[in-house]
Amino acid sequence: MTMQRRNFLKAAGIVSAASVTASLTGCASAPVPRKQAAGHVVVVGGGYGGATVAKYLRKWSEGGVRVTLVERNPTFISCPISNLILSGDKTLDDITVSYDGLKNRWGVKVIQDEAVAVDPVKRTLRLAQGGSLSYDRLVLSPGVDFLWSLVPALDAKESQEKILHAWKAGPQTVALRKQLESMKDGGVFAITIPKAPYRCPPGPYERASVVASYFKAHKPKSKVLILDANEDVISKKGLFTKAWSELYPNIVEYRPNHELIDVDVTNTTALFEFDKVRADVLNVVPPQRAGAIASAAGLKLVNNRWVDVDWLSLESTNTPGIHVLGDAIFPAPTMPKSGHMANQHAKLAAAAILNLLAGEAPNPNPVVMNTCYSFLSSTEACHVASIHQYDAEKKTVLPVPGSGGVSAVRSVAEAQFALGWAKNIWADALA
Amino acid sequence: MPFARHLMSRLSLLAVLAAGLGSTAAFAADPNLARNLAATCANCHGTDGHAQPGAMDVLAGQDKGMLLQKLNGFRDGSRPATIMHQIAKGYTPEQLDLITTYLAAQKREGK
């Protein structure tokens, strides 16, 4: 008892010192022990990052902070698990979650619209349908945009409907499944992979594996051709190559150093500097950058593609008041662009924003971790995991030596964990 | 009124911290540290450890000693796992103490 009281007084001392330095909110000169976070946070993008930050801001402030979420789609559709639609194991319904939980249980105001411009000085956000929102803090979780200029023939709606990306789950995923279903036995499915970093590093290899699983059962004379711009398989290499040689020896073929320069849409042909490959179904995972609103807001980008952030708060390094999450940021060392990671970014940012709104510094010791499951067939999966702790000297989060790693073997058990992971993270973000 | 309620919730959080840390104050920097650390488990084990029915263990309201024993088993390799042996090694013993204290304090039922 006395110990708790002593610690409380100690903490209160720290807090009142902090609230003296943080007088920018301009209210209350009385010696208040801790201010409660209040204000309005606008979140752009309702994917893994945006949905999670919206929920946790409401939850952790006990409703004290107002949250508005701007999302262009009417429902959340998960990219993770979406490859199982291509193999015929799941439907679009299985990976779709409503925003009702955020609205009704957590009191988030959800607006179906698109953010088009930010005024970081007046702290306002302009919407495509003409409205405007003012904010105390803005969270951008815009995901990726595709760099069609690097695949010029696909820079048109009609071509994109023929040569599919299916790298944002939804109608494209369903359309790609239809192409695979109508392909003749003995046909070729080719997938092109851009240079890293891109959204979901193991995703293309998982896709190749589960499409091969479908072919093996239904179109055994068909081929899966992986055309990778990278020098080698960049994620879970041993597990993928073992699955390809053991499960699909006559189906999967992997070709490294194949950077796509364009496509011939009429002949469904992928064009490379010294090579061209015709396929019956051609699937292009395009090169990517942070969603357009990031550059429209004037945020500092790394390599002209990814937003540079402060790892204690995920605030933009050049634009105060704007926090960025998920695939859009320039990642910390070895950190993948994954839905799991976006969810972890969201909680780091939610905690930091609530501290900042209360006039306090963000938590100086943040930790984020990643778990990413990949299916190798309809029934077996594997994982990669990592834990990243903040390093005050390097001002970034770094993987903990000796921790993390990949599965020893692919297994049926991990396929169950993969589906369990999905159920839990969807609920953690949206329910 | 809201201030009083707020103060109470602060006090209970500090109690959680104090219980987890004993007399060490090294981690008292952010009063929500335990909450923040435990939130890194939620992707797989549910918000505040309330896992969805199915493959994942419910952590909310479990006995702290039992949770710590499992985590230490994962850390030293004595407890078999597909993934938790890799994850448990990413946290310090002090962090695992804070996490298990927080999760054990969650109500077992409800959401």
Residues A213-253 pLDDT 10s: 999 999 999 999 999 999 999 999 999 999 999 999 999 99
Contact A365 B30 (CB under 8 A): yes
**What's the ipTM?**
0.90
The answer to whether the beta carbons of residues A223 and A253 sit under 8 Å apart is: yes
In a domain, B62, yes or no: yes
The reported pLDDT for the residue numbered A398 is: 98
Using pLDDT thresholds of 50, 70 and 90, give the confidence band for residue B109. Answer: low
Residue B20 forms contact with A (CB below 8 Å): no
Give yes or no for residue B2 having a pLDDT over 60: no
State the nearest Cα–Cα gap between B60 and chain A, in angstroms: 14
Using pLDDT thresholds of 50, 70 and 90, give the confidence band for residue A34. Answer: low
Length of chain B: 111
In a domain, B111, yes or no: no
Q: Which residue does chain B place closest to A37, by CA atoms?
A: B6
Closest to B43 measured CA to CA, from B34, B52, B32: B52
- The mean pLDDT value for A261-270 works out to 98
Give pLDDT tens digits for B67-94: 999 999 999 999 999 999 999 999 999 9
Tokens of A321: 């008041």
Tell me which residue in B30, B32, B89 faces A402 most closely, judged by beta carbons. B89
Residues in A closer than 8 angstroms to B82, CB to CB, are 383, 407, 411, 413-414, 417
In a domain, B110, yes or no: no
Residues in B closer than 8 angstroms to A344, CB to CB, are 40, 43
- Domain range enclosing B24: 2-104
A35: alpha, beta or left? (left if phi > 0; alpha if psi -120 to 50) = beta
Tell me which residue in A389, A419, A425 faces B43 most closely, judged by beta carbons. A425
- Percent of chain B at pLDDT > 90 equals 69
Contact A419 B55 (CB under 8 A): yes
How far is residue A275 from each of residues A223, A227, A279, A304, measured CA to CA in Å? 18, 11, 13, 29
The answer to whether the beta carbons of residues A260 and A271 sit under 8 Å apart is: yes
In a domain, B109, yes or no: no
A264: alpha, beta or left? (left if phi > 0; alpha if psi -120 to 50) = beta
In a domain, B88, yes or no: yes
- Percent of chain A at pLDDT > 70 equals 92
User: How many inter-chain contacts (A to B, CB under 8 Å) are there?
Assistant: 144
Q: Domain containing B60 — which CATH number?
A: 1.10.760.10
Give yes or no for residue A134 having a pLDDT over 50: yes
Closest to A198 measured CA to CA, from A307, A356, A328, A308: A328
Average pLDDT, chain A: 93
Give yes or no for residue B7 having a pLDDT over 80: no
The reported pLDDT for the residue numbered B61 is: 97
- The mean pLDDT value for A182-208 works out to 98
Q: How many CA atoms lie within 13 A of B88 on its CB side?
A: 22
Contact B25 A10 (CB under 8 A): yes
Beta bridge partners of A373: A383
Tell me which residue in A400, A427, A431 faces B90 most closely, judged by beta carbons. A400
Tokens of A220: 């055994």
Residues in A closer than 8 angstroms to B89, CB to CB, are 387, 400, 402-404
The reported pLDDT for the residue numbered A6 is: 38
| DSSP-derived pairing of the beta strands A188-193 and A223-228 | parallel
Using pLDDT thresholds of 50, 70 and 90, give the confidence band for residue B25. Answer: very low
The reported pLDDT for the residue numbered A25 is: 38
The reported pLDDT for the residue numbered B108 is: 83
Q: How many CA atoms lie within 13 A of A197 on its CB side?
A: 23
Tell me which residue in B28, B35, B90 faces A369 most closely, judged by beta carbons. B90
In a domain, B64, yes or no: yes
State the nearest Cα–Cα gap between B51 and chain A, in angstroms: 6
Question: How many domains does one find in chain B?
Answer: 1
Q: What is the C-alpha to C-alpha distance for residues A276 and A264, in angstroms, rounded to an integer?
A: 9
Spatial CB neighbours of B102, under 8 Å, sequence gap ≥ 6: B16, B20, B34, B35, B37, B38
Using pLDDT thresholds of 50, 70 and 90, give the confidence band for residue B107. Answer: very high
Give pLDDT tens digits for A373-428: 999 999 999 999 999 999 999 999 999 999 999 999 999 999 999 999 999 999 99
The reported pLDDT for the residue numbered A37 is: 87
Q: Which residue does chain A place closest to B95, by CA atoms?
A: A367
The Cβ of residue A274 has, within 10 Å, a number of other Cβ atoms equal to: 6
Q: Which residue does chain B place closest to A387, by CA atoms?
A: B90
In a domain, B42, yes or no: yes
Chain position carrying tokens 């419910």:
B58
Give yes or no for residue A105 having a pLDDT over 70: yes
- The mean pLDDT value for A172-184 works out to 98
Contact B18 A4 (CB under 8 A): yes
Closest to A322 measured CA to CA, from A183, A171, A119, A158: A119
Residues in A closer than 8 angstroms to B54, CB to CB, are 416, 419-420, 423
Give yes or no for residue B63 having a pLDDT over 90: yes
The Cβ of residue A147 has, within 10 Å, a number of other Cβ atoms equal to: 14
Contact A387 B44 (CB under 8 A): no
Beta bridge partners of A323: A139, A315
Tell me which residue in B9, B25, B42 faces A7 most closely, judged by beta carbons. B25
Residue B106 forms contact with A (CB below 8 Å): no
The DSSP call for residue B110 is -
Give pLDDT tens digits for A289-326: 999 999 999 999 999 999 999 999 999 999 999 999 99
Contact B32 A363 (CB under 8 A): yes
Tell me which residue in B51, B86, B90 faces A424 most closely, judged by beta carbons. B51
Interface mutation target, options A403, A412, A426, chain B, most CBs of B under 10 Å: A403
User: What is the DSSP secondary-structure string of B37-69?
Assistant: HHGGGHHHH-GGG-PPSSSSPP-TT--HHHHHH
Closest to A407 measured CA to CA, from A430, A374, A431, A358: A374
In a domain, B58, yes or no: yes
Give yes or no for residue A81 having a pLDDT over 60: yes
Element (H, E) at B111: none
